[in-house]
Amino acid sequence: MKYDHDNISPLDNRYANKISTFRNNFSESALIKIRFEIEIDWLLFLCTKLSKSFKPLSNESIKKINSFKNNFDDKYVLQIKKIESTTNHDVKAVEYFIADHFNKDKVLSKYVHLIHFGLTSEDINSLSYACLIKNGILLFVNESLNTNKTLLKHTKNWSNISFLARTHGQAASPSTLGKEFKVFSARLEREIQILKAIKPLAKFSGATGNFHTFDIVNSSIDWPKANKRFLKQFGIEQNLYTTQIEPHDWIAETSHSIVRINNILTDLSQDCWMYISNDIFKLKLNKNEVGSSTMPHKVNPIDFENAEGNFGISSALFEFFANKLTKSRHQRDLSDSTVLRNIGLGFGYSSLALSSTNKGLSKITPNISSIKNELDNNWEVLTEAVQTLMRYEGIPDAYEQLKKLSRGSKLTQDSYIDFIENLDISNVSKTKLLALTPSTYIGIAPTLSK
């Protein structure tokens, strides 16, 4: 791949290799190619599936047309772009390019009139973007599943590693690292399933969505049914009720789902950043990396920082797509067209952030000694367990007693044991509490991890 320093987006230079699959899927060339294929396949559909109404094609002609379609390359793109420079209409340029090719063949020239037959450019665009976004969703889901695999690995490996939890930034009832990662994994898995269930939609019904051109040609054909059959070839559902444009509600659903995934993983990235800052995690060293241009000792959590920033850009784009694309003046205005051209950017920045998240997750390892020291220095977190058992045994002011003992002050192991030994509670409860330590007060966190 050529590294072009003049590209304005870092997705096309600095980060190009990291999102190559998304760049290939959403590029201008990819958009031109799918438009080209749809135009060809529509003509083939008319002449093979509706051959009673349209001039049939011979097997030899079908073979020629498919060969033309399957040989799509950069030369085709350049020729189509050259035509567009004159027409100032991208879809029409594809139509003219195909017509030029057909006119060079004695037999195919008789079918030029069927290129783009009955269609408006938005029919081609609607199906084209549906195909691109459908493929983009598949790529994005696969990358999200890879991230979830890493989360599940950490969940399993760290299911029994106790650490001091924090609520409001203050010491709280301990948890395990595995259980906390399980929370993110479960959230991500749920949202992935929601995203996978979204059905891409397209319209293929003419200028203002009423099948005018089709009905005027032959009203005996069930055109909605026929066109639905054509869309199915691409794995796309038909939206029968549209204006000139497909309303894009399904794109908004996709956008909102990806924003939620971005938010889940931003939450993860920020937590990991703070765990590293608080010495809960250590970062694995790469001797060749530089953490600071002036401070040689630094090992920075840059992957989680990069992830947070790029998830943010992606979400800003997708939130705009969802808000903008679902609104159009009367039967259509063209403002959605220029916006849709940027849909790949949202996927690209989220993919880049996923890559950074995975890299960050591969570098962290629990800092066992620091985790243990922090737990040992926070015996006051056991006051929740103490006051709960006191309540269970009928002591009405249990909370108030523990508040007086622990709020704003530190408990030690000795002061904790002394308090428990002087409590007027049953031997069963007293034995439980005396055996308890901050590292063992983790409830069923290990079970939840699994």
Catalytically active residues, by annotation: 168, 292
CA torsion, points 292, 294, 297, 298, in degrees to nearest 10? Answer: -20
Q: Label the pairing between strands 170-176 and 201-202.
A: unpaired
Q: Which residue in the block uniquely carries the two structure tokens 């969802």?
A: 322
Sign of CA dihedral 426, 430, 431, 433: positive
**Secondary structure of the chain: what % helix, strand, coil (to 5)?**
65, 5, 30
Degrees to nearest 5, angle at CA 97 with 91 and 103? 135
Give the rounded distance of the alpha carbon of 332 from its chain centre. 29
Calpha distance 320→251 (Å, rounded): 11
Q: Label the pairing between strands 364-366 and 162-167.
A: unpaired
Per the CB < 8 A criterion, the answer to whether 110 and 151 are in contact is no
Calpha distance 398→423 (Å, rounded): 11
Q: Label the pairing between strands 364-366 and 201-202.
A: unpaired
Per the CB < 8 A criterion, the answer to whether 179 and 152 are in contact is no
| 3-state SS assignment for residue 119 | coil
The phi and psi torsions of 366 (rounded to 5 degrees) equal -60, 135
The phi and psi torsions of 55 (rounded to 5 degrees) equal -55, 120
- The DSSP H or E segment spanning 364 is strand 364-366
